[in-house]
Structure 1
Amino acid sequence: MKSIIFLCLFATSFLSYSQSNTVKLTRAYISLKEYKKKYNKPLTANDSLNFLIKNNDTLVLLKDYEKPKGTSVTYIPKDSIFLRHYSYSAFRLKDIDSLDKQQKMYYWKQPIKIYFAENISKSVKKDFLKFASDISNPIDSLSIQKVNKIEDSNFVIFSNEDYNFEPRIKENGTDYYISWNGNNQIYKGAVKINKTLFFNDILFLNALKEYFLRSLGHFNLSKYLDCNSYFSNCYSKDKTFSSMDKELLKYHYSYGICKGTDYETFMNQHKRAKEVLEKTGRKMNFIHPY
């Protein structure tokens, strides 16, 4: 079996060979340029005996290389136009051509367990849960479910007429609030809707959908998308979960790219993966260790 392996978090790529999936140690090669950068030591005569020339690149054998543990997922190539739209929203860039290299992406690793506060109508609950099911069912790594007890939840939906479950949202505000860990994984969230402004179920539900979607990745609303898109910052009473919205959310929760990275790492990974695909015809595998 031949594969290109990219270990998430450590940002190191290898051309590796193994006899079977059960073999712990595998023969792995790294480019000469990357070897010098990674190990910062001179090559010996014995090292040069293990060189491999591949598509005009000189590769160095890593002795006793241990294959990283984790889930291996094949790289998902995307065109530059989609990546610009995705990056603008997911990394909260200042504009679509921004070079804000250190901006981070955020995502839910664990299932989202929603508790509805007392003053959320049955109609809103029913319609919102259908919406949540529609957007999450096509995505294996995004799970959204309702719970009946606050202590079982990690996400609360409430209004200004309910107990203030999230005091960091302004008293009369309509907004969402999320918390994340050191791996940029969201573990807690809330949406608060002000019924004074969104005074009927239709208005309330539309606002709830928009703020909830934003909470799924701390997404930036975009001025570059159609006004009816939920990812657009343009007001519309006829928001629909568009094909672009579906693609953006599905891609965000796919594992064909490393998760929780900064913008610079994200774009460098795509550049490297596309180079490998063009040179070798093989897609890189991203290994997610957690």
Structure 2
Amino acid sequence: MIILIIHLDIQLHKPMYFFLRNLSMIEMLYTTTITPNTLKNLLEKEKRISFLGCFVQMFIFISLGGSECALLGTMAYDRYVAICHPLLYPTIMNQSLCLKMTLMCWTIGFGNSLVHTVLTATLPFCHKRLINQYFCDVPPLLKISCKDTFINELVEFLVGGCVIVGSLILTLLSYTFVIAEVLKIPTASGKKKAFSTCTSHLIVVCIFFGSVIFTYLRPSSHSFYNYNQVISLAYGLVTPLLNPIIYSFRNKDFLRALHAILANPSP
């Protein structure tokens, strides 16, 4: 619905909504990759997935997760330019730059996933191929390998860490400058409105990045490993649910477009 409304309303053809449309696409594919098979396994006694299906699922899931990390950082930077440099915003965030930044986000996500998937696929696995997870992911697959996985864990930490931490730093820096600019607003109502939006965005960012960091950027022998099933649901299902509410349905321009289309559905 978000993708359709942004496409139909010409007033939403702005960089912010261009990125939001890409985020909506990622979220839609993100949940579609893991949810159907997870629900099937919850209903069946024998919970199976083929070897090829497992790695295809993992590749797509990690690709989309990495792309979302990069895109959240990009969206935060977009808000920084819009709020801190409003006069230069149309010049800086032009169509060409938006396309390049979006392409970069998708490239980072798929490149990161390709490295992890190939390295994991080359490992030998024990006869009891039972993973302690709702879907195929790197940490549970490393657990059932019959070979030492130090190299895999090191690459996961370094490569995945660069994507996750880099995006998080860009996001936090952007919002730091945004909040500093908001504090200069003279009216209390203006500050309250701006802080409300920033707080909502930061809540989603903290949930997503916090759960991802907990899953991928800690030693595999950590005593909280069994909590991965619950934590993975946070970035696999909770944030895709919250993002449309936070980024769209709390936005006045988007709600205006939604009401206009519902009131006059014909072209």
TM-score (norm 1): 0.25
Structure richer in helix, relative to its length: 2
